[in-house]
């Protein structure tokens, strides 16, 4: 039997267009290689859905009033404003999943990641890095999900986000989606082996 250890909270950040959603999708599709299913935390946001985005799958799309109610009820593990919209991680599903010893994945921006780090010091922070600035611009524009002024705003935010790299535990370059997903898989496997995490869960069992 696999000795899983306590749950692993993986935070994935990186500039818009770096490929976070794509790499997470790849990881989830490789789920059968993991001993326990991965849980992707579906965030709440006040931004409008993009073409093809489904409520409850990609995000919970909510009004600003509903978002504020959730803040008042302490419903978020973390929340932040990004490019004029609010984004937050619903607390209950993540906490429940971790308590069961699972692995929860959060795709969140840097200020939210810092809140998670201070509230859950066991969280593992991964910064997904585009191969170059030119490639980041190309991916962001190629996605065709935002008008030009919003792309410019997201690129400006990216400059600020790079200042937080020193607060992260791992940097993974997204040259190839498959390789980046494999590296995050390796991080999850290594983190599960940590003595501290095993002790927290059930004590290190000797044979």
Residue whose tokens read 């959060």: 106
Binding mask 5-24 for ligand ADP (x = CB under 6 A): ---------x-xxxxxxx--
Residue 194 binds which entry of ligand ADP, ligand 5GP, none, CB below 5-8 Å type-dependent: none
Q: At what angle do helices 20-29 and 177-192 cross, to 10 degrees?
A: 70
- For ligand ADP, the closer of residues 157 and 198 by Cβ is 157
- Say whether residue 174 binds ligand 5GP (CB under 6 A): no
Residue whose tokens read 């937050």: 88
DSSP state for residue 136 in the 8-state scheme: H
Least distance from C-beta 138 to ligand 5GP, angstroms? 16
Residues in region 31-70 near ligand 5GP by CB under 6 A: 43, 47
Residue 182 binds which entry of ligand ADP, ligand 5GP, none, CB below 5-8 Å type-dependent: none
Q: Is 13 exposed, middle or buried (0-12, 13-18, 19+ CB in 10 A)?
A: buried
- For ligand 5GP, the closer of residues 5 and 108 by Cβ is 108
- Say whether residue 82 binds ligand 5GP (CB under 6 A): yes
Residues in region 145-204 near ligand ADP by CB under 6 A: 174, 176-177
**Which residues are near ligand 5GP by CB under 6 A?**
16, 20, 43, 47, 78-80, 82, 87-89, 107-109, 112
């Amino acid at each position: 039997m696999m000795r899983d250890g306590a749950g692993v909270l993986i935070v994935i950040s990186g500039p818009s267009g770096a490929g976070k959603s794509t790499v997470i999708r790849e990881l989830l599709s490789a789920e059968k290689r993991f001993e326990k299913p991965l849980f992707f935390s579906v965030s709440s946001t006040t931004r409008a859905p993009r073409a093809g985005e489904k409520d409850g799958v990609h995000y919970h799309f909510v009004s600003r009033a509903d978002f504020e109610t959730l803040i008042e009820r302490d419903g978020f593990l973390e929340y932040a404003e990004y490019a004029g919209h609010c984004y937050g991680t619903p607390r209950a599903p993540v906490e429940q999943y971790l308590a069961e010893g699972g692995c929860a994945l959060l795709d969140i921006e840097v200020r939210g990641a810092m809140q998670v780090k201070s509230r859950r010091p066991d969280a593992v922070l991964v910064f997904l890095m585009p191969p170059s600035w030119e490639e980041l611009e190309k991916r962001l524009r190629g996605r065709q999900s935002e008008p030009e002024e919003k792309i410019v705003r997201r690129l400006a935010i990216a400059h600020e986000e790079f200042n937080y790299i020193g607060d992260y535990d791992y940097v993974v370059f997204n040259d190839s989606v498959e390789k980046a997903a494999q590296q995050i898989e390796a991080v999850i496997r290594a983190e599960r082996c940590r003595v501290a995490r095993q002790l927290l869960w059930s004590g290190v069992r000797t044979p």
